[in-house]
Amino acid sequence: MRRTWSALAAITLFAAATAGCSDDGTGGSSGGGSVPGVTATDVLVGTHMPLTGPAAAGYSKIAPATKAYFDFVNASGGVHGRKISYKIMDDQYNPANTQQVVRELVLQDKVFAILNGLGTPTHTGVLDFLKTNRVPDLFVASGSRSWNQPDKYPGTFGFNPDYTVEGKILASHVKETQPGKKVCFLGQDDDFGRDSLAGIEKVLGPVAAKQSYVTSNPNVGPQMGALKQAGCQVVMLATVPGFTALSLGTAAKIGFKPQFVVSQVGADLRTLSKQLGAATPLTEGLISANYLPMSTDDANPWIQLFKKVNAQHNGNAEFDNNIVYGMSVGYLFVQSLQAAGKDLTREGIIAAVEKGGFQGPANAPLRFSADNHSGYGGEQLSKVEGGKQAYFGTPYETDNLDGPVAAYSAQAATPPQNGIPAAS
Partner 1 sequence: MDRFVFLTFDGLGRGAVYAAFALALVLIWRATRIVNFAQGAMAVATAYVGYSVAGATGSYWLGFVVAVAGGLLLGAAVERVVMRFVDHSSPLNGVVVALGLVLVIQGVLGMTYGNEFRPAGAPFSRDAFNVGGIALLSRFDLFVFAAVFAVVGLLAALFTRTNVGLRMRASAFAPDVSRLLGVNVGGMLTLGWALAAAVGSLAGMLVIPTELGLHPNAMDIVFVSSFTAAVVGGLDSPFGAVVGGLIVGLLLSYVSGYLGATVAPIAVLLLLVVVLLGRPGGLFSRSAARVA
Partner 2 sequence: MSATLAPAVSTGRRAPETRRRTRYLLWTLAGAVLIVALTYVLPPFRNYQLATVGAYLCVTAGLTVLTGLNGQLSLGHGALMATGAYTVALLQERMAGQGQWTLLVSVVAAILVTTVAGGIVGLAAARLRGPYLAGLTLAVAVVVPAITSTFDKTFNSDQGLSVYVEPPPLALGATFPYERWQAWLAWTGALLTMFVLATLVRGRFGRSLRAVRDDEAAARIAGVNVARTQVLAFVVSAACAGLGGALFAVLAQSVSPGAFPLSLSLFLVMAIVIGGLGSLAGAVWGAVLLVALPALTHSVTDSIDVSPAVAQRLEGNLPLALFGITLIVVMLAAPGGIASLKPRRRKA
Contacts with partner 2, residue ranges (CB under 8 A): 1-4, 6-8, 10-15, 17-19, 21-28, 30, 51-52, 56, 60-61, 64, 67-68, 71, 88, 90, 92-96, 99-100, 103-104, 107-108, 120-122, 124-129, 132, 144, 146, 189-191, 214, 216, 313-317
Residue among 148 and 389 whose Cβ is closer to partner 1: 389
User: In the set 278, 299, 401, 422, which binds partner 1 (CB under 8 A)?
Assistant: 278
- Whichever of 15 and 370 has its CB closer to partner 2, that residue is 15
Check binding of 213 to partner 1 (CB under 8 A). Answer: yes
Under 8 Å between Cβ of 102 and 126:
yes
Instruction: Output phi, psi for 168, to 5 deg.
Output: -65, -40
* 366 within 8 A of 397, measured Cβ to Cβ: no
Does residue 92 contact residue 50 with C-beta atoms inside 8 Å?
yes
Q: Which is nearer to partner 1, 189 or 347 (CB)?
A: 189
Using an 8 Å Cβ cutoff, are 98 and 125 in contact?
yes
Q: Which does 410 bind (CB under 5 to 8 A by kind): partner 1, partner 2, none?
A: none
Counting contacts by CB under 8 A, is residue 253 touching partner 1? yes
| Distance in angstroms (rounded) separating the CA atoms of residues 342 and 102 | 27
Smallest gap from Cβ 349 to partner 2, in A, equals 23
From residue 52 to residue 91, the character string flagging contacts with partner 1 as x (rule: CB under 8 A) and all else as - is: xxx-xxx-x-------------------------------
The alpha helices in 76-234, defined as continuous H runs, are: 95-103, 120-124, 127-132, 163-177, 191-204, 221-229
Least distance (Å) from partner 1 to the CB of residue 26?
36
Q: How many Å apart are CA 392 and CA 382, to the nearest integer?
A: 6
Smallest gap from residue 401 Cβ to partner 2 (A): 21
- Please tell me the distance from the alpha carbon of residue 289 to that of residue 321, in angstroms, as a whole number: 13
Query: Contact with partner 1 (CB under 8 A): which of 49, 262, 276, 309?
Result: 276
Smallest gap, in angstroms, from Cβ of residue 84 to partner 2? 15
Minimum distance between the CB of residue 60 and partner 2, rounded to whole angstroms?
Answer: 7
| 44: DSSP letter | E
Burial of 279 (0-12, 13-18, 19+ CB in 10 A): middle
State whether the Cα torsion 299-300-301-306 is positive or negative: negative
CB 252 within 8 A of CB 222: no
- Residues 97, 297: Cα–Cα separation, whole Å: 37
Task: Find the shortest distance in angstroms from Cβ 252 to partner 1.
Answer: 6
Please answer whether residues 162 and 144 qualify as being in contact, where contact means their C-beta atoms are separated by less than 8 angstroms: yes
Residues that bind partner 1 (CB under 8 A): 51-54, 56-58, 60, 189, 212-214, 216-219, 221-223, 225-226, 228-229, 241-243, 245-246, 249, 252-255, 271, 273-279
